[in-house]
Amino acid sequence: MRVALLVTHIRAEEKLILAAFNNREISPDIILDRELNIEITQGAEQLAPSGIAWRDYDLIFERCVSTSRGMYALAILNSWGVRTYNTYETAATCSDKLQTSIALMQHNIPQPHTRVAFTPDSAMQAIEDVKYPAVLKPVTGSWGRLLARVHNRDSAEAILEHRQTLGDYNHHTYYVQEYVDKPGRDIRAFVVGDRTIAAIYRASNHWITNTARGGLASNCPVTDQLDEICVRAAEAVGGGILAVDVLEDTRGAFVVNEINHTMEFRNSSQPTGVDIAQEVIDFVIGQIGVVA
């Protein structure tokens, strides 16, 4: 079985993934996204930077920290019929919060009330429609960057003016959500195929609970209810290997906040007791075996 890991660089997760492959006696080639130089029309016959033709790989496992590089690489590889995890379809949906919202809506999966507007004036109206506090997010981005909880009209006006003046066109799509008054934590659930293999609470005194921003991880029991909504959410965006971020509202009901297609999990195996990397890789190997 010939596998390549497509990366921007090697982080803790990639080392865990490589170790998990090695446990199954597979040694993936490592391909750096910075070395890609692809002739689109030559197809999978051409050589990857590893010196191996793309078509000769049974799987390209995409783990780029650069969302755009990873997504476009998947687009090209999938168009040639090269098998990847995740697929371009899944990556393109997850990398865009608006596209994710649409997918969740189409599959009747609960999510925070969300509005979209394209000018500062209509965005102000959208913010007042969802009521204060509202949350303003860029449609692309990660690690809690550039999120704003907006408490009143004064701060809304300031943030919208800054976004319109300082941001490029990506920041002129105004994605506005109701603020979900969560209990000082959110849930990150790891979905592999059709199963939620583990979940963590991410607790923080700050309203942004990402572990990249200091949120503390602890085990979250995977109940049937949590498993069901997370697996449905994962399927809604195309399925694969995904981290589903879930909020609990004041009634304790789950709403899906966003879905990540190149999930980070270095801090999650210890509290959950689940070897997430090995679960992921065993699933991937099994899937290759199914179609081989």
Partner 1 sequence: MGNRMALCPACDGEVVIPADAMENEIVSCLECGAELEIMCLDPLELDLAPEVEEDWGE
Contacts with partner 1, residue ranges (CB under 8 A)? 7-11, 15, 18, 30, 32, 65-68, 140-143, 145, 243, 260-264
Comparison of 72 and 283: residue with beta carbon closer to partner 1: 72
Q: Which residues contact 12 (CB under 8 A, 6 or more apart)?
A: 266
Tell me whether strands 134-137 and 84-85 are parallel, antiparallel or unpaired: unpaired
Comparison of 222 and 243: residue with beta carbon closer to partner 1: 243
Q: How far is the CB of 178 from partner 1 (least distance, A)?
A: 23
Comparison of 222 and 241: residue with beta carbon closer to partner 1: 241
Q: How far is the CB of 172 from partner 1 (least distance, A)?
A: 14
Q: How far is the CB of 225 from partner 1 (least distance, A)?
A: 24
Residue 37 burial (10 A CB sphere; 0-12, 13-18, 19+): exposed
Q: How far is the CB of 48 from partner 1 (least distance, A)?
A: 16
Comparison of 72 and 124: residue with beta carbon closer to partner 1: 72
* Distance of alpha carbon 136 from alpha carbon 134, whole angstroms: 7
Geometric angle at alpha carbon 113, from 161 and 172, rounded to 5°: 25
Comparison of 19 and 253: residue with beta carbon closer to partner 1: 19
Q: How far is the CB of 17 from partner 1 (least distance, A)?
A: 12
Task: Provide the angle, in degrees to the nearest 10, between the axes of the packed helices 120-130 and 153-166.
Answer: 140
Task: Judge whether 44 and 80 are in contact, CB under 8 Å.
Answer: yes
Handedness of CA 150, 154, 160, 162 (dihedral sign): negative
Comparison of 63 and 115: residue with beta carbon closer to partner 1: 63
Q: How far is the CB of 151 from partner 1 (least distance, A)?
A: 26
Q: How far is the CB of 191 from partner 1 (least distance, A)?
A: 14
Task: Judge whether 4 and 263 are in contact, CB under 8 Å.
Answer: no
Comparison of 10 and 216: residue with beta carbon closer to partner 1: 10
Q: What are 70's two structure tokens?
A: 């990873």
For 171-182, letters b (16+ CB in 10 Å) and e give: bebbbbbbbbeb
* Distance of alpha carbon 213 from alpha carbon 281, whole angstroms: 27
